[in-house]
A = this chain, B = another copy of it.
Amino acid sequence: MNAGILAVGSELLGTERLDTNSLLLTKALQQYGVEVLRKVVVRDVEREISEEIRRMAEELTLVLVTGGLGPTTDDRTRPAAAKALARPLARDEDLLQGLQAKFLQWGLTMPVSNSCQADVIEGAEVLVNPRGTAPGMKIEHRDCTVFLFPGVPSELEGLIRTGLEPWLASRTAGKKVETRILRIACMSESALEDSLGPAYEEFDSTSISILASPGDIQVHVTATGTLEERRSILDAMEQKVRELVGDSLYATGAKSSLEGRVAELLMASGETLATAESCTAGLLAERLTRIAGSSDYFLGGVVVYTNELKERLLGVSKESLVNHGAVSREVVVEMAEAVARRLESDFGVGISGIAGPDGGTEDKPVGTVHVAVSHLGDKTTHRELHLPGGRQRVRWLASQWALDTLRRRLL
């Protein structure tokens, strides 16, 4: 099977919005091994919608249309599709009554304009849309199947689950492509590539792909088959990657985050944390508290942007500041230990660095960052970093490395 995706809507041809619905559809299609061959966006013009549907239906086995199913006069997908497939469009009385009942439930009388949402193309299967008033449609037409979906993303998502995916599953005998996302912190893309060599050899190299963002890389491992088949391959692949990258793999899943993983570990250990930040200026504290319930482990912190405050709020020694500078091992170690002592937490984190654009020197260029993690009664961990990028990138990476250093201490 191969597919074309048509997005209908003049608003998708301006400078502010892109057709992101196609990503939702592509995700569902990929799971069943269906390749998307073309994506098109057209205006709310019946002739243009109709011609594109006709063309796709001639050339492809699956045509997915989103948008243009609303009740207004510029919603033209229903008549356009009927014309493209040369089938009549007729009002479905049951559907009309269902629509009227829906409005009554909301305490409203159905506007006359909504009646057209009960128009059905001959031979179409109606796809019930509990989240809105526009039902979807599925039309088997010669060697092609055409789906019409509403353009509102939440409504589309519902119909993908209840209308598209079951149909795809029935056509592919339960075989499915599944991707598992492995999350790697603070490793360069090239170092990761090198480490993964044996995995590329053991498994089909096209089943492993790398998606890099600053300080956080996703390794996507993919397998095809029945539930049992693909899970066993994915488990083996994950196991292999874990062997190769060790503790750098911090979590699985697209929604995981380094702060979330640190939260889990702190909640499990029952210990508390305080932060002392200079160049990140609150970013680390802000990330730690994105997690609901973070007050269980995060006590608070200080942002000591000036040297004077490093001395006055934390008692960092003037000697260290003068002899080694604010961006040094000595100072961040004192910051981490002092904030934990003063705020009475188990862990303390200190960060100091040069985020730029100014402030760099030959010895300590922009991107030089020191991070320290202290733990009650133990030796304090220190890292010196040389981070690439502009001001925001350096600050982000500094917070990422601080979280990762903390995570490794918690393991």
Residues of A within 8 A of B (CB): 12-16, 18-20, 22-23, 26-27, 30, 35-43, 48, 211, 275, 277, 280-286, 288-290, 292-295, 298-306, 308-309, 313, 342-343, 356-358, 391-392, 395
Contacts and interface: CB of A to CB of B under 8 A. Distances in A.
A13 B37 contact: yes
Contacts of A358: 292-293
Contact of A305 (B211, B277, B295): B295
A18 B23 contact: yes
Contacts of A23: 15, 18
3 interchain residue pairs of minimum CB distance: A282-B282, A282-B285, A281-B289
A37 B30 contact: no
Nearest to A282: B282
Contacts of A294: 281, 305
Contacts of A35: 13
Given A37-B43, A282-B277, A302-B302, A26 B18 contact: no
A313 B290 contact: no
Contacts of A292: 356-358, 391
Nearest to A52: B38
Contacts of A300: 302-306, 309, 313
A27 to B, nearest CB: 5
Contacts of A211: 16
A340 to B, nearest CB: 13
A342 B308 CA distance: 12
A42 B38 contact: yes
7 contacts: A13-B38, A14-B36, A18-B19, A37-B48, A39-B40, A281-B289, A286-B286
A289 B391 CA distance: 10
A38 B343 CA distance: 60
Nearest to A310: B300
A35 B14 CA distance: 9
A277 to B, nearest CB: 7
A299 B305 contact: yes
Given A38-B41, A358-B292, A302 B299 contact: no
Contact of A286 (B40, B41, B281): B281
Contacts of A27: 15
A269 to B, nearest CB: 18
A307 B162 CA distance: 48
B275 A303 contact: yes
A301 B299 contact: no
A38 B30 contact: no
B392 A290 contact: yes
Contacts of A43: 37-38
Contacts of A309: 299-300, 343
A169 to B, nearest CB: 18
A36 B18 contact: no
Contacts of A48: 37-38
Contacts of A38: 13, 40-43, 48
A342 B313 CA distance: 9
Contacts of A275: 282, 303
